[in-house]
Structure 1
Amino acid sequence: MQFFLYLFIALLLLGNLVVLLIFQEKSPILDFLIKHNWYFPYHVVLTLYLLPLGEFGRELREKSFMNFCHVIGPILMKEINPHKPELFAGLKAAGESGKSGKPLTVLEIGIGPCTNFPYYPGKCELVVVEPESFFRKEVEQKLKSYPGIHLKGFYDIGAEDMTSVIDSGTIDAVIGTLVLCSVNNNDSVLREVLRVLKPGGKYYFYEHVKSKPSWKRKIQEFLHWSTIWRYWMCGCDFYDTHKLIKKTGFSTVECKEAYLSYSKFSLPLEFINHNYYGIATK
């Protein structure tokens, strides 16, 4: 009995040491895990270890997920970026034509690490709604490379209710890429997108959706029911998002289907390889 008690204490201390090392600015453990494509298994084990630690554990889990996002981000973008010029061509053209003589006002929901900046108009007014406040520093840093984009406001709130920060009919374009999987209420967010857009304004979206009926969809449904995936991935879940967008009340919705192929991290990314992207017009 004493042996197991000592073993438990040793594992607890070792776990704490690993947690502390992994969250250093420059961690050799983090570099090793990334190099050998072991970060996702580590993240899964770490989140389970942090489960009893309450609020402190939640903060560390979110930081671990942010590390994971930085690891898989380039892999995701390599697959997604070929679709973005087509998706955002109209946004660039609208910004450059400047019919009103004023820069477009663009709202990006869930901006994360700012992967869409290369597809923005050369000049625009940017409003950001991003519940994770730690991304603000990254937004401000990235904007130094895009002097034509003026940050009009950064609001660390959920997009389910933006009435306190954005008036109705004031936004030319809303951007949301890989966002609706992580919100608390898809319908509320989409109604808010419709509300803030000007007449004729456009919503540019790119989302992963549930797989078509298959063994993979059954696993997704189990992960959704058990909330395991949502816990591991800090709120991400599986929905028929493209169908929800079409039911929201936009005048037109144009979308295309895409299947992504990953060579690394195939376990987690295999469940989000069925995607839809398109434009919904108010």
Structure 2
Amino acid sequence: MSLIIYLLQLVVAVILLPLHILNFLGIWNSFIKKAFPHFINKFTETYNKLMDSEKRRLFSNISDFSSPSKDLRLLEIGCGSGANFKLYPRGCKVTCLDINPNFQQFLTKSQAENDHLTYERFVVASADNMTSVADASMDVVVGTLLVCSVPNVPGVLKEVKRVLRPGGAFYFIEHVADSDESSWICFFQKVLNPSWKFIFDGCSIRKTTWKDLENAKFSELNLRHITAPTSMKLINPHIIGYAVK
């Protein structure tokens, strides 16, 4: 089976050879950084409708992590177009972080549509190296569909724990590798993953993020495996939950 997967990976790589060449020359990466926010903006409209009940259930207790006598301080890493803003509690202070500054135009629109929140600032940085965010400065960190495109997942979780105050919480929704080795989804994830990242801005469809969360040694981890109802079957295996520092 592994030989078949390897041969099919080569076939896909040959089909996408022009893209690989453009990426090597630095042309494709520049294009995708500008084009990807437009794709994500459209994708999240559909994704949010399909995942609305799961997201509302997940975020329903965010207010429980507010600091005593203070407004809730929330950092969204990989904020993208701001698709989660409408689900955050009124009055919370939101810091937005994304490595791609081209999301700014969509972020500004989402901020205007969600004036029940207070927006602190937009930080351009990678989630595994957000040094401009102070230690223990956040009550809540949120990351949805983020770590698939960050190579250093343990580094992200280390940074999340650093910026969270003691007792703060990290909320997550991530698509992950299908753990059923006999499934067709698992098979095609393995076939397409080496080339997938070129099309979807570094995204991997074979991340075992639940293991990284288990190894991060949060004081409490609430995690569920679900099958998301999207039309992109390769990303339907999901994990969802929150972890307390």
TM-score, shorter chain, exceeding 0.5: yes
Q: Distance in 2 between matches of 1:139 and 1:92?
A: 23
Structure 2: stretches of 5+ with no match in the other structure: 1-14
Q: Distance in 2 between matches of 1:137 and 1:124?
A: 22
Moved more, 235-244 or 215-224: 215-224
Aligned partner of 1:220 in structure 2 is 189
Q: Distance in 2 between matches of 1:70 and 1:149?
A: 20
How much is the aligned-residue C-alpha RMSD, in angstroms?
A: 2.3
Which of the numbers 51, 73, 90 marks the counterpart of 1:105?
73
Q: C-alpha deviations, 1:181-217, integer Å up to 9, x for none?
A: 1112101001100111101000010001101222321
Aligned partner of 1:142 in structure 2 is 110
Question: By how many angstroms is 1:219 displaced?
Answer: 2.5
State the secondary structure of the residue aligned to 1:106: strand
Output the amino acid matched with 1:275: H
Task: Tell me: higher relative CO, structure 1 or 2? Use CA pairs within 8 A at least 6 residues apart.
Answer: 2
Aligned partner of 2:207 in structure 1 is 239
State the secondary structure of the residue aligned to 1:137: helix
2:37, 2:81 within 8 Å by CA — same for their partners in 1? no
Output the amino acid matched with 1:277: I
Question: By how many angstroms is 1:49 displaced?
Answer: 8.6
Change (3 A) 1:66 1:45: farther
Q: Which has the larger radius of gyration?
A: 1
Question: By how many angstroms is 1:246 displaced?
Answer: 1.4
Give TM-score scaled by structure 2 length: 0.84
Structure 1: stretches of 5+ with no match in the other structure: 1-43
Question: By how many angstroms is 1:127 displaced?
Answer: 1.3
Change (3 A) 1:252 1:170: same
Change (3 A) 1:47 1:242: farther
Question: By how many angstroms is 1:46 displaced?
Answer: 11
State the secondary structure of the residue aligned to 2:113: coil
Q: Distance in 2 between matches of 1:68 and 1:145?
A: 20
State the secondary structure of the residue aligned to 1:279: strand
Output the amino acid matched with 2:189: Q
Which of the numbers 229, 235, 238 marks the counterpart of 1:272?
235
Aligned partner of 2:85 in structure 1 is 117
Which of the numbers 36, 43, 51 marks the counterpart of 1:72?
43
Q: Distance in 1 between matches of 2:35 and 2:43?
A: 12
Aligned partner of 2:54 in structure 1 is 83
2:147, 2:153 within 8 Å by CA — same for their partners in 1? yes
| Pairs within 5 Å for 1:110-259 | 110-163=78-131, 165-212=132-179, 213=181, 214-224=183-193, 227-237=194-204, 238-259=206-227
Change (3 A) 1:69 1:147: closer
Q: Distance in 1 between matches of 2:109 and 2:42?
A: 19
Moved more, 80-89 or 61-70: 61-70
Question: By how many angstroms is 1:257 displaced?
Answer: 1.9
Give TM-score scaled by structure 1 length: 0.74
State the secondary structure of the residue aligned to 1:200: strand
Change (3 A) 1:206 1:177: same
Output the amino acid matched with 1:111: C
Aligned partner of 1:37 in structure 2 is none
Question: By how many angstroms is 1:88 displaced?
Answer: 0.3
Aligned partner of 2:12 in structure 1 is none
Q: Distance in 2 between matches of 1:146 and 1:70?
A: 16
The number of residue pairs the alignment matches comes to 228
Over 6 Å off, 4+ runs: 44-47
Q: C-alpha deviations, 1:79-134, integer Å up to 9, x for none?
A: 22220111001114555xxx622211100000111111111110111112100101
1:171, 1:196 within 8 Å by CA — same for their partners in 2? yes
Aligned partner of 2:30 in structure 1 is 59
Question: By how many angstroms is 1:58 displaced?
Answer: 2.2
